[in-house]
Every structure is written in C-alpha cells, then in structure tokens.
Chain A
C-alpha cells in the first residue's frame, strides 16, 4: 500500500497560486474556504520563499486525536479524511493542526462554525466513491479514479509533489543531488516525523 504524502519543493515554487485555484475549482470549494494556499515568507524582501501548504495528512494526525466526536479516519493510503455528518464544528482540529488546514464555512461565534472542510488529497469522504453526495460534501474523488491530487498534477514547475511518500522523496532527493541544493521538505518533520536527507 502506498503512503500518500505531499511534498513542496520550495526552491521551485514561484507563487503562481495555480494549485490554490485548481483545488477550488476541482472541488467547488465554497467561498471563503481555501483547502490549499501558498504562503510567502519575507514577501518582497531578500530571502523571500514561497511554500504551498494544505493538509499534510499527518502520521498519527493531531486533528484525529483531538476530535471529540471521532469524525476523522485515516485510509489505507495514509490519507486523513473526515465525516461531515459526524463533525460538530467545535474547532478543536483547527487548534491542533500544525498547518492550519481545517476551515469552517462561518466565523463561528457561539460555536456556529458549521462543518469543517479541509483537503482530502482528492480522495472524497466516507460516502460511496464518486457519488453525488460525496462530491457535494468533499469534492472530487480523483484517487478512486486512479488520479493524483490536481494541485500537484498541474503544478507548472513541479514544485508540488503528491503521491507515495517514498517515490516523491526519491524524486526530491534526485533533484537536490542534481542541482546541488535544497531547502528540505517543508512540514515533513512536523507531519511525518522524518526529513529527507540528500
């Protein structure tokens, strides 16, 4: 079984935000929610760096651990998914998530956030694969169709990699060896408790 992961090669990210747009469009993500975002550190200054970030589908995911109603589950592929029918919108996953992935339709005064929404690794939710109910709640299930997440698939510089952790780590290692530098796999230490040594 594959262990699905994301890897953003920050040395290649040009902050084009196409991954953000592709995600929003592919899943008809509601207004105000962005399952993926590009964060630019030191924007416009020397040493600027951009990283594309979404749910990292952590090993031993913190969101899953703190959820008071057990709405999360990890698939055999290591993708962390959740059930919007079980979610009560308490916000705890947002407190625990190191990557700010969980989001809610509303600001949430008096606990009225609504059902949590986050990146599904294009793998839908608990409903039958490819069903209308699944699409409405979680968006497209590309994984069930044998496709990888769209954000990474259409990344113009191939900065964002998605797929089996070992394979994308190998691609990244080869890149770093060839070009002679690499800023490391951002978030991997926090999400997977491992780093890619080149």
Chain B
C-alpha cells in the first residue's frame, strides 16, 4: 500500500514537473539570448563626440596617463607638418624675394648729399649692447628653431643622422637657454625705446610718402620713422608672444596640459616665422639696403647728412639741444 502511494506520488510529481516545464517554455523563448552587462557603459564614439579627449583615472601617480585618447594630436601634427611649413616657407622666402627684387630695382639707398664727415651720436653704448645681445640671440634662436621645422627635410639628407642629432640637441639647448637673454633684451628694448616709438601723425605722412623707399623722397621723421616703429612693435609684441609661448613649452606641465602645449607651439611657430620674415627686412635695410645705416648700431654714430635725409626732425631737435652742428655741409669738408 505504501509503495503504491509512493509510486503514485512520484508519477504525479513527474507530471507536474513536465507541465511546469511546458508552461515555462514560451516564457523562456521570450528571454534575450544574451545580456549586455556593459550596456550602460560609455562608448568611445560618444565620448569623442562629446569631448576633445577621453579622460579617466589610472592607478599610476602620473596625471598625464589619465588621458586615454587625444585625437587633437593628429590636428597638431597636420599643423606642424603642413600648415607651419607653408607659413614659414611663404613668409621667409617671400620676404627674401621681395628684398632681392627691391635691391635689384632700387639698389642701395645712398646718402644723397654725400658724407659730411661730421657725425652725431645715434645710439649710446648701452643701447647698442641691448640691440646686439637681442640680435645675436635672435639669430641663434631663429636658426635652431628653423632646424626643428625644416632641418629634417633640408639638412638631414646632407649629413649623417648622428651628426644631425648632435647638432639638433645642441641647437635645442641653445634655443632654450638663449631665450633668457633674448627675453631680457626684448624687455630692455621695450623700455629704452618706448618714448620714441609711439605712432603719431608724422608716421602717417611718412608712410603716405612711402618712407622714401621709392624714388628720392625724404619724408621727415623723428628719431624713429614709421618703418622703425613697426620693427619696434614687431620686436616687442612678436618677441613677447614668442617668449610667453616658448616658456610654456620649456616648462612642461606647470599648470598646462598637452592641449595647452599644442596651442603654445602653434602660436610660437607662426609668430616666429613671421618674426624671422620681418627681421630679414630689418637686417636688409640696416646693412646693404641703405648707406650709412649700419654705423648707427655699429659705432653708434651717423653722418649728419644721413641724419638730415632720414631723420630730419630728430636732427633738428638734437641740434637745438646742441648735440650736433647742423650747419656742417659736405662742401665744408676739405678734399670733398
């Protein structure tokens, strides 16, 4: 009897299980075949659309490692490899071309009255020291900087990779350390010549008459003419921008990120290329472009006739102060 009951219980139990299983089947078929446990997690595409870089955390005590991806590096690469090279090539070669054409067309701007043989002090020793400190730093900074942008294409094919690396490493250190005397020079230039470099109506007239570069016109100018004032402000503002963006790069990660440094490098590169192009013109007019100009920064004195032709108002002011004898004429010089 008990065995029969037990057997019946087993049969009923088995049937119930089967019924339950059958009833459960449609429900199981509706269940997804798999679950995405990371469904709510962020996706790369969504993050890159939302932010410039994908940021997270890592167990490494180096905040730089927290950036997973920064596709902006590709944009910077394009700037550095394409845009900056074009800007540099056009600005610098363009400037050289204009100067060559101008030299061939105009030649050296002569002292029309000839040399008087009498001189007047134009730049004192301190001014010349500041100029040449800044200028010599600038030349090295420019060459070492151009090496970073163009050296691989222009210089590396000519020498061994080891020699190019040795030169580039020295150039890099020179670039970094000479930035300090250059900065000092820019600050001193700003201070010692600011008085003579505020643009005024004389400059407008000077510029209108083409600065005397074309033809034989000599528009009056004070101590600094319109062109020199432009050079002054290019040095002060361009030098200032180059200096600030440069220090961002010299001291990496002091409150800056990769993005800041990419931007700083872009500013630095563009400003530097335009600066070099402008300085070529400055060097030209201070040397082979104009008779009697170099000695202003060389010996510090200029011929009175040069001063009369190029800086008439300055000479008048100087003679009022008794710094020079404006009556000196070329004819007054024996043997002339």
A20 to B174, CA, bound (A): 37
Among B49-71, those with CB < 8 Å from A are 54-60, 62, 64-71
Q: Do residues B38 and A41 form an inter-chain contact, with CB atoms below 8 A?
A: no
Q: Do residues A38 and B258 form an inter-chain contact, with CB atoms below 8 A?
A: no
A99 to chain B, nearest CB (A): 6
Given contacts A95-B73, A184-B43, A190-B74, contact A109 B34 (CB under 8 A): no
Q: Which residues of B contact A103 (CB under 8 A)?
A: 64
Q: Contacting chain A: which of B109-117, B157-165, B206-214, B226-234?
A: B157-165
Q: Do residues B168 and A49 form an inter-chain contact, with CB atoms below 8 A?
A: no
Q: Contacting chain A: which of B4-12, B245-253, B320-328?
A: B245-253
Q: Do residues B36 and A181 form an inter-chain contact, with CB atoms below 8 A?
A: yes
A169 to chain B, nearest CB (A): 16
B167 to chain A, nearest CB (A): 9
The answer to whether the Cβ of A198 comes within 8 Å of any Cβ in the partner chain is no
Q: Do residues A42 and B42 form an inter-chain contact, with CB atoms below 8 A?
A: yes
Q: Do residues B162 and A111 form an inter-chain contact, with CB atoms below 8 A?
A: no
Q: Do residues A49 and B261 form an inter-chain contact, with CB atoms below 8 A?
A: no
Q: Do residues B68 and A39 form an inter-chain contact, with CB atoms below 8 A?
A: yes
User: Which of B58, B76, B156 is A69 in contact with, Cβ under 8 Å?
Assistant: B156
User: Which of A48, A71, A183 is B43 in contact with, Cβ under 8 Å?
Assistant: A183
Q: Do residues A111 and B173 form an inter-chain contact, with CB atoms below 8 A?
A: yes
Q: Which residues of B contact A40 (CB under 8 A)?
A: 56-58
User: Which of A37, A65, A70, A96 is B58 in contact with, Cβ under 8 Å?
Assistant: A37
Q: Is the interface of B mostly helix, strand, loop or mixed?
A: helix
Q: Which residues of A contact B74 (CB under 8 A)?
A: 62, 96, 98, 190
The answer to whether the Cβ of B25 comes within 8 Å of any Cβ in the partner chain is no
The answer to whether the Cβ of B176 comes within 8 Å of any Cβ in the partner chain is yes
The answer to whether the Cβ of A66 comes within 8 Å of any Cβ in the partner chain is yes
A177 to B14, CA, bound (A): 38
User: Which of A180, A181, A184 is B45 in contact with, Cβ under 8 Å?
Assistant: A184
Q: Do residues A70 and B172 form an inter-chain contact, with CB atoms below 8 A?
A: no
The answer to whether the Cβ of A186 comes within 8 Å of any Cβ in the partner chain is yes
Who on chain A is nearest to B148 by CB? A68
Q: Do residues A68 and B77 form an inter-chain contact, with CB atoms below 8 A?
A: no
Q: Which residues of B contact A68 (CB under 8 A)?
A: 147-149, 151-152, 168
Q: Do residues B39 and A181 form an inter-chain contact, with CB atoms below 8 A?
A: yes
The answer to whether the Cβ of B33 comes within 8 Å of any Cβ in the partner chain is yes
Among A170-198, those with CB < 8 Å from B are 179-181, 183-184, 186-187, 189-190
Given contacts A88-B172, A95-B262, A99-B69, contact A107 B152 (CB under 8 A): no
Among B129-181, those with CB < 8 Å from A are 147-149, 151-152, 156, 161-162, 164-165, 168-169, 172-173, 175-177
Q: Which residues of A contact B80 (CB under 8 A)?
A: 66, 92, 96
Q: Do residues A41 and B68 form an inter-chain contact, with CB atoms below 8 A?
A: yes
Q: Is the interface of A mostly helix, strand, loop or mixed?
A: loop
Q: Mark B4-47, 1 if CB is under 8 A from A, else 0.
A: 00000000000000000000000000001110111111111101
Q: Do residues B38 and A34 form an inter-chain contact, with CB atoms below 8 A?
A: no
The answer to whether the Cβ of B81 comes within 8 Å of any Cβ in the partner chain is yes
Q: Do residues B42 and A86 form an inter-chain contact, with CB atoms below 8 A?
A: no
The answer to whether the Cβ of B265 comes within 8 Å of any Cβ in the partner chain is yes
Q: Do residues A39 and B40 form an inter-chain contact, with CB atoms below 8 A?
A: no
Q: Do residues B261 and A100 form an inter-chain contact, with CB atoms below 8 A?
A: no
The answer to whether the Cβ of A146 comes within 8 Å of any Cβ in the partner chain is no
B187 to chain A, nearest CB (A): 20
Q: Do residues A88 and B56 form an inter-chain contact, with CB atoms below 8 A?
A: no
B78 to chain A, nearest CB (A): 9
Q: Do residues B261 and A95 form an inter-chain contact, with CB atoms below 8 A?
A: yes
Given contacts A88-B168, A190-B71, contact A110 B47 (CB under 8 A): no
Among B107-126, those with CB < 8 Å from A are none
Q: Do residues B58 and A88 form an inter-chain contact, with CB atoms below 8 A?
A: no
The answer to whether the Cβ of A90 comes within 8 Å of any Cβ in the partner chain is yes
Q: Do residues A69 and B165 form an inter-chain contact, with CB atoms below 8 A?
A: yes
Q: Which residues of B contact A67 (CB under 8 A)?
A: 152
Who on chain B is nearest to A99 by CB? B69
A9 to chain B, nearest CB (A): 11
Q: Mark A51-68, 1 if CB is under 8 A from B, else 0.
A: 101000000001001111
Q: Do residues B156 and A95 form an inter-chain contact, with CB atoms below 8 A?
A: no
B163 to chain A, nearest CB (A): 11
Q: Which residues of A contact B258 (CB under 8 A)?
A: 94-95, 100
Q: What are 18 contact pairs spanning A and B, CB under 8 A?
A: A17-B59, A34-B60, A37-B58, A40-B58, A41-B56, A42-B42, A43-B57, A53-B69, A70-B156, A88-B172, A90-B172, A91-B249, A95-B73, A99-B68, A100-B70, A111-B250, A181-B38, A186-B69
Sorted nearest first, the 5 A-B pairs with minimum C-beta distance are A180-B34, A181-B36, A39-B56, A41-B56, A39-B68
Identify 12 new A-B residue pairs, CB closer than 8 A, beyond the known A49-B42, A51-B56, A98-B69: A37-B58, A39-B67, A47-B40, A49-B38, A69-B151, A69-B161, A86-B165, A91-B249, A96-B77, A100-B68, A181-B36, A187-B69
